[in-house]
């Protein structure tokens, strides 16, 4: 019996020892988990502190961008006042010259190049955002000689739909560098002033729209919140032969190169200028300009590839939307139905828009010379075939429309409709 009790006691002691060891092991694990949890909480605290630091930096950057945008607006407004004064002085001088040429007879002012779209538009747009932002975020953004002035004037005349609109030919990163260079190597004083004005305007536009989160090439774009209202962008493209010829006369009127020697001098200073005067003009240069513009001013600036915009060739326009941009792409040749195009883009009736013609060829001092040049300007069929095979043109225009351009400009007597 004593032996049995001793065995039972031994078993009890063994079980008690095992239980004590188990308790100690569990307590050890609990302490280990507590240390891990403490480390995790410390790490969470550090991460929270880092997040708060990043949020503070983003908020500071946003305030800085907003302040920078306002500074750009004030600079643009001052520049606009100066530029408008110069334009008025020049216009008064022209009218006085006309009056003197007609022996003192009073003459009616003819439509001249519309005053440069005011940089004050940036200020008006920013002020308008406070009351009706969906009606004030409008940008006419297109290459020269595609109808920018008419588009902008039409928007400004349609106050029931658009309270204020901005405009720019270029304001991407690449364009800013190019405009800065043109200020230094301009081929004439008039061209230098134009380049300086465009640079200041582009700078103000970038600071305003970039700070709001619309420009993909703006520093810190990914950190900025998606804007509540989309930016409406309107851009136009034109037959490169017609656009190049129009630009040729524009360059000429601004004191541009008159012969081969002046062209080579300008290009020797690093300036890519169209050929003007009697020297042959090459539309291929304008086509390359269009292609570069679409890449830098649409794809890199807004994140939209022109190829993604489906063009209705019968109507002459297409619309594409992102989470920040509403883009209208149209052709200058479709301006005959511009009121309908804008009405469909803004979801209103066509009578909401009174189409305004501005800075067109018929209103220029050299209108007769320009009309004669357009009538007589001809190119070889081979050159035209190569030119209109460009993917960007085949995207913007139908086969019949491209053949129509060929027939207009070809030295051949006839271009078959199916060619």
pTM of the model: 0.66
C-alpha 117/C-alpha 201 separation (Å) is 9
Nearest residue to 309 (alpha-carbon basis) of 291, 324, 296, 294: 294
CB under 8 Å to 114, separation ≥6 — which residues? Answer: 149, 152, 153, 358, 359
Beta-bridge partners for 234 = 140, 328
Q: What does the pLDDT read at residue 275?
A: 36
Residues comprising the chain, all counted: 419
C-alpha 93/C-alpha 358 separation (Å) is 20
| Mean pLDDT of the chain, nearest integer | 75
User: Pick the residue with more confidence: 231 or 166?
Assistant: 231
Q: What does the pLDDT read at residue 276?
A: 34
C-alpha 207/C-alpha 140 separation (Å) is 17
C-alpha 56/C-alpha 62 separation (Å) is 10
Q: Is the pLDDT of residue 125 over 90?
A: no
For the ranges 37-41, 66-70, 392-396, the lowest mean pLDDT is seen at 66-70
276 and 246 Cβ atoms separated by less than 8 Å: no
Q: What does the pLDDT read at residue 97?
A: 54
C-alpha 184/C-alpha 376 separation (Å) is 36
pLDDT in tens, 235-258: 999 999 999 888 777 766 666 554
pLDDT in tens, 354-375: 998 876 666 666 678 878 888 8
Q: Give the pLDDT band (50/70/90) at residue 411.
A: confident
C-alpha 164/C-alpha 208 separation (Å) is 14
Between β-strands 325-331 and 317-321, what pairing exists: parallel, antiparallel or unpaired?
Answer: antiparallel
User: Pick the residue with more confidence: 211 or 313?
Assistant: 313
183 and 192 Cβ atoms separated by less than 8 Å: yes
User: Pick the residue with more confidence: 253 or 81?
Assistant: 253
């Amino acid at each position: 019996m004593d032996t049995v009790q001793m065995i039972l006691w031994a078993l009890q002691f063994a079980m008690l020892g095992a239980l004590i060891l188990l308790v100690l092991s569990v307590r050890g694990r609990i302490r280990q988990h507590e240390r891990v949890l403490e480390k995790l909480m410390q790490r969470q605290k550090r991460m929270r502190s880092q997040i708060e630091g990043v949020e503070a930096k983003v908020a500071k950057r946003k305030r800085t961008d907003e302040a920078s945008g306002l500074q750009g607006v004030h600079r643009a407004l001052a520049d606009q006042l100066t530029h408008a004064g110069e334009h008025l002085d020049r216009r008064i001088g022209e009218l006085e010259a006309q009056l003197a040429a007609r022996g003192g007879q009073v003459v009616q002012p003819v439509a001249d190049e519309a005053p440069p779209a005011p940089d004050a538009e940036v200020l008006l747009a920013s002020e308008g955002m406070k009351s009706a932002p969906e009606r004030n975020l409008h940008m006419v953004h297109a290459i020269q000689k595609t109808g920018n002035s008419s588009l902008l004037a039409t928007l400004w005349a349609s106050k029931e739909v658009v309270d204020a609109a901005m405009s720019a030919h270029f304001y991407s990163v690449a364009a800013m560098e190019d405009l800065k260079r043109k200020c230094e190597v301009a081929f004439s004083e008039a061209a230098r002033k134009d380049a300086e004005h465009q640079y200041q305007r582009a700078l103000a536009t970038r600071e305003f729209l970039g700070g709001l989160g619309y420009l993909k090439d703006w520093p810190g774009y990914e950190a900025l919140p998606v804007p509540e209202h989309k930016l409406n962008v309107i851009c136009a493209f034109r037959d490169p032969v017609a656009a190049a010829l129009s630009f040729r006369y524009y360059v000429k009127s601004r004191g541009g190169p008159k012969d081969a020697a002046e062209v080579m001098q300008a290009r020797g200073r690093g300036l890519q200028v169209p050929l003007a005067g009697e020297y042959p003009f090459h539309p291929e240069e304008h086509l390359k300009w269009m292609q570069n513009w679409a890449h830098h001013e649409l794809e890199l600036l807004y994140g939209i590839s022109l190829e993604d915009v489906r063009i209705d060739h019968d109507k002459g326009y297409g619309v594409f939307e992102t989470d920040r941009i509403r883009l209208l792409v149209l052709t200058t040749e479709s301006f005959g139905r511009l009121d309908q195009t804008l009405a469909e883009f803004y979801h209103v009736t066509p009578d909401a828009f009174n189409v305004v013609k501005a800075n067109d060829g018929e209103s220029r001092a050299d209108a007769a010379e320009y009309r004669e040049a357009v009538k007589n300007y001809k190119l070889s069929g081979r050159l035209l075939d190569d030119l209109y095979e460009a993917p960007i043109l085949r995207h913007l225009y139908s086969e019949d429309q491209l053949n129509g351009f060929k027939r207009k400009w070809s030295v051949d007597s006839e271009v078959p409709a199916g060619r």
